[in-house]
A and B are shown apart, each in its own frame.
Chain A
Amino acid sequence: MIGKASAALAAMMMLATQAYAADAPSEIKIGTLYASSGRYASISMPVHSAIKLWVDQKNAEGGVYVKAFDKKIPIKLVAYDDQSNTATAATLYNQLVTQDKVDLLVADSGSVLTAPAVTIARDHKMFLFDQTGTGASFFSKDNPYIALMADPVSTIWPKPVADFITHDGPGLGIKKVALLYSTNEFTGTQANAVRKFIKESGAPIEIVYDQGVPTETTNYTVIINNIQAKQPDAVIHLGYAPNDIAFLRNVQDVGVKFKMLFCIYPGLETELLEKNVGAKGLQHVFTYVPPQELEYPVNFGMKMADFRKAWDEKYKDGKIEFGFNSVAGYTTALVIEKTLSVATSLDQMELRKAVFSLSGNLKTLDGTFALDEMGGQIGELTPLGQLELNEHGHIKFVSIYPHETATGKPVYPRP
């Protein structure tokens, strides 16, 4: 009985919304998920917190400008906790689409929790704002319902690293490279890309060590010894934050000094890594230079310094780290804001058109927003940098490659 009644009610409401489609809604519903616990909590919470920050900020100003109705409309963020569980995430994405009938669908952070959203969005013909799900399999020519907002796709991300080694490496004396990666989609794909870029460059670089280790690995002492035995001129380690922490600590503990060492997370989660590895352990380490270190010219949204200030004000307890992922969340929000300001309706294909129209034009604190034809992010490439200590013994970034944005020369070999 209740089911029937509510079904009838829902049908009436649908009719109603259709009939008055031209009238502005009282709020724009943005649906998303986050993980407060479990494996992906540490990447999901900063992203989600940044979106919340943006929502509060905009609503305090009376909402965002929506071109379709030519007025400011408040945002309602419908967010559920998937607890890092993909089955739950799938249900909740469906809930957002079918029950809450959100106007915009935003995925949770990371490829694993984004994966269920890809199919669901496509099935319901909802355009998916993919925040940091870099999985190469998400983007295909026959799926128009997705675009990647903040991180470069995994297949292109490590290009600056590989280019540095193949272009500048031989001049510095880099001939032998060791490649160590965690076997998951995020870092595994990057390892494949590095391997491919190096081979295709034709540079006289030999990969002398090439091993994948399980993502759960927390113990690298023996592996470090094995790598050392190959006497590489450069070591590229691709892993998640806990992998980087364990690896860098073990390198320090064993007392090995690689001539060049690249890791992902010292750049992306600098605070977390500095807290866990110590500034000394990060000195001379090569990494991606995150947008918060670069001061990109901005034509939309807050500049990095302002964002940082707003963040520190809102999240005083420091439980959620400020870093690459919080910038990613805010970038997504900016793309959404800009999209709403140019889209002529809230139709999903119109939203897609609006998002793609921003490609190459939108410049945020995360760099230039640029999409390939399948919706993969190819702008916002993170340059290669090196971590050095400033006079106070704190970590600072020196951008190394590409040369256009470089702020210094590499320290090679590591003293």
Chain B
Amino acid sequence: MSPDNVPILRVNDLLKRFGGFHALDGLTFHVSSGEILGLVGPNGSGKTTAINVISGLYAPDRGEVLFDGTSVGGMASHKLVHRGINRTFQVPKPFMSLTVRQNLEVARTYGRAGASGPSMSDLLEEYRLADVADRPAHDLTNVQQKMLDLVRALATQPRLLLLDELAAGLNPTELDWIAERIKALAKGGLAIIVVEHLMGFIEQITDRVIVMNAGKEIFEGTLAVAVKVPEVIEVFLGGEHAA
């Protein structure tokens, strides 16, 4: 599968208001199976809101979300999960008093029906959770909780995966390791959207980035080009995240 396929997700002219504040203001983009798209921008530019709208936490005030050709804007989250959309959380919220294994069991049982994928033990092995599989989630380290969150999302057999600041808090070796995992997932045909502050990490894994500011897209293309565009530089100036 190649990035030139028909996009699996299209968002058109998304608008999301909180009171008088426009968190999303006419956002439009698309992503295809097998592609890794980066969403970058300063704090408050609307990246996480975009993920929250696509994953069903908020209904958009205007615009549409097309997944696999069907409009899914405002659909209940669990239905989106059944269609194949999933996500991780900036601050992971695993089911703290359940064991790691039980966390995954919920996702596998209630995730996308009829899909097949790697077995639970493979997933645990692959994301370095096998040793703690029978421990309750609140015993896990922060990084382990992040991995559990990711594995939980993967266990539902998604076709589109939204990663919200997965890399934050990981050390350089872990970063390299997780970058490889994400790339492998995309190779397997998964469409992935990454929201991230670490530009090096974005550069390492993405095919394409969208730079957002004030709820709008101000640039689309590769990161290497983006960092030379004056408008993008200006948005990040004073921001602490210029790579």
**Complex A–B touching at CB under 8 A:** no
